[in-house]
Each structure stands twice: as C-alpha cells, then as structure tokens.
Chains A and B, each alone.
Chain A
Amino acid sequence: MRINGAWRICDDQITRPTVVGEIEDAHGNWLEVLFLADCGADRTVFSTDVFRALGFPPIHSEDAVTGIGGVTNTFEFSSVLRMRRSDGVPIIFRARFAAVAGSSLLDMSVLGRDITNLFTLIIDRPGDAVCLLSRGEVYQA
C-alpha cells in the first residue's frame, strides 16, 4: 500500500512535505485538508481554521500539546479521516483527533505519528517524493 503526498510551496515560499486527506465534519460532510507530514509530531493535530470549519463543539481536551511555543490547549473530537491510496482506494482512519485552540498557534494541520506509525514515512526532497508505505513496500527514489 502506498499513499502519495507531495512537496508544496507554502505562504512563505518554503516548500514543505504534505499529504492530502479529507475529514468528516459534524454534519457528515467531508472537508479537504492539507497536512504537513511531520515525523516530529507525536500525534495528528488540526489547525484552528479546519477545526472551526468542521463544526464540532469546542470540547477541551485533558491533553495539551507541547512544542516550541510552549504548552497549548487543544480541543478534541472523534471523526474519520480518509486518504487516497495510489490506486485510488480510500484508506480510513478512525480516531479521536486534536485541534489547537488558536489560529496563530498552528497555520497548517500536522499528520503525526499516531497515523504515520502505521507506515514507513518517506520524506525525500532530492527525489521529490513524499509517501506513506505499508510494511513490506520498498521505496526507490
């Protein structure tokens, strides 16, 4: 199994490794989300704009997240995330997800190791590749 991402130019002209997914909102609709593929993130965290667009009630999580900016409170919600395998088949991830509680704290949702631990995460700038590979898949640049 392989889920392809891409290197994309961001607002500051820096090219970052990304993966596209879609998350189910509070009304059963789907919202497209661009994730930063972040091997340093312990868990997947949604940015405030995405969380507000999803329409879930702002239920504070007992788990804050910690980063360079210090400790940040989060909201928590249960939902379904889908990503598209390279052959077009959607892969479904069911979990309780977190979102930061302020727009300036995280401008881009991050795909963390709660999900990437299911795969081998490839972030290859010289080879212009970002992908998630399931066990047994071999990566060749």
Chain B
Amino acid sequence: MSDREPALISINDLKVHFPVGVRRLFGRSRQVVKAVDGLSLDIRQGETMGLVGESGCGKTTLGRAILRLIDPTSGEIIFRGRDLAQLSNTEMRAHRRQLQVIFQDPYASLNPRMTVSQIIGEPLETFGLAKGEAKKQRVQELMEMVGLSSRFLKRYPHEFSGGQRQRIGIARALAVDPEFIVADEPISALDVSIQAQIMNLLDRLRREKNLTYLFISHDLRAVRHVSDRLAVMYLGKIVELGESRAIYANPLMPYTRALISAVPVPDPIIESTRQRTVLEGDVPSPINPPHGCRFHTRCPYAIQACREVEPQLVEIKPNHLAACIRISPEEPDIDRIAPGYAPGLRQR
C-alpha cells in the first residue's frame, strides 16, 4: 500500500465517553469511562488497517463509533468529505450502505427466525437496491461469492456451522456494495481450520471489490497476516502505528513488544528458547486511567516523567509512529536508552 493512497476515513480527536455509576436526581453521574479518548487515525483507501489491544482498550467502541452504532462524544469522522459525527440519524442511514460491519459472534448477529435468503436479502430491500427476481438472483450471487451453496437459501442460521454462519454475515455485509467494513473479531469464535478459510475469504473479497477494512482482533498472529498497517490501542489511545511488518519486526513501544512476545509460537524449539516479556498486572480501569503515560503502571522502562507527561504519537521512524517520551528518531531502541533520558519531553 503506497503512502499516497488518500484517506477514505479520517478520524480526528475522537472521544467516546460513557457515564457510569449512579445518576443523581438533577445531577450528572460523576464517573465517566473514557473508552476512546482523543484518538486520530487515517484509514486509507483499499488497505486493511489492523487494530489490536487488550480487552477494555476501546477497540470495539472505536469500530462502532466510526459506524455511528455508538454516538461519539466529540471529534470528527470524515468520510467522503462529510463528518459522520455531525450527521442526523436519517442522514446517517443513507451512509450506512457504504459502511458495514461483520461481528465476532455469528450466532448472535443473525436473526434465528429468518432464512438465509431473508437475512442476505433484507439490506437489499432496505436500501431499495433490488426486489423480486432480481433480489433472488443477487442473493444467490452473494452466497456463491462467500462460498455457500445456494441450496441453503431456505435454511435457518441454526442449521449452519460457525464458519458458515460467519460467511452469511459476510454476505449480508457485502449485499449493499459497501466501501468500508469494520470486521470486529471476525475469526475469534471459529475453529482453527475455519479461521484460515475466513481470513482468505476476507482478503480475496477485499482485492476483488476494492474494499477497505478495519480489522479488529486480539489475535496478533491473524492481524499480522491480514493487515497492511497496524494500530495498537491502549486505554482509549493509539500508542503505536505503522506498517504491520515493520511493527512485528521492530516494535517500538514496550507495550507492543510485550503483546507480541506474549503470543505463543507454534514451534516447540522457538518456544523453549525464547525470552518472554511477561507484563505484570492487568489493564487499569478506564474510569480513572493513570496520569501521564497510561501504560506507566505496567511499563518496565517507566521513569518519573512518564507519570507526569502524556506522550504524543510522533513519527520515530519513517511511517512508524509511537507514543513514548523515552524514544526518539535518534535512538528508537528503548533498550539502548540512557537511564532517565526522555527526549520526547522536548517536543512539548
């Protein structure tokens, strides 16, 4: 993917906050979960942008906010020159055709009382794209496209296996010829032998239909395989962004290093010899995220300044950004940095 590809979606300083706890009479609830907290990201035309992070980091909320399935608190989501965040619900409906979603759980996201042909045909009718014989034909075409026999037209979701159900969900998303698809953990609920099938299918469809994906997953092996670029999220913010290959080969952030090192490799020889960076503790609560760098509570390299200064996402290597005050273009390797050195402080 070249850098010159224009952004299909530009997210600027997006915030999604949820009030939690007891709401007092005449008062607003005091506590707020900052699920997405000032996040900016360009997703380029035709790319697969991987989004990884631990549970609770806000990756699903981000995906849903882009599609306005959750209303953002502030910030912009620019798609084709319009700010989706500002659209009324009616205006947004017209855009839904271009922006589709595939969910993790194909069991929960398909209506059990509808046949496959009704499920895939519904968006065609909703958007007035086809009806009658034309609709029937389009549904068959879509089923073939995702590798389902059109013999199954009249069957119900429970008659299918998990992988087949995910194919139905993909066919439904593709029915309206979208440009952009949020795939939220599309393979996590599937068997190993089926995961490869669905990854290959998604990749083939992207090339054939010039789709753009936001591929959300906690499975770093899968994300590395399918994504052109990768964004690593931690507590509502992007902490590292760059080409997938570059990030896997040379992760800059201590957090990304720990994530990658935590993934077991299917090779007993590598497993028995490699040194693993095991992170201590859990993800802190997003209600009161730590001050300064949000990762400092678990970071083996944290110094006093990390507790005070919030790091900015800056370019450390060409096209490879990280949010850490301790590294810089001059010395991107955190293991080689002098004690107490924090070049990122200068940028403020």
Co-assembled chains A and B: no
Chain B residues engaging chain A, CB cutoff 8 angstroms: none
A contact residues vs B (CB 8 Å cutoff)? none
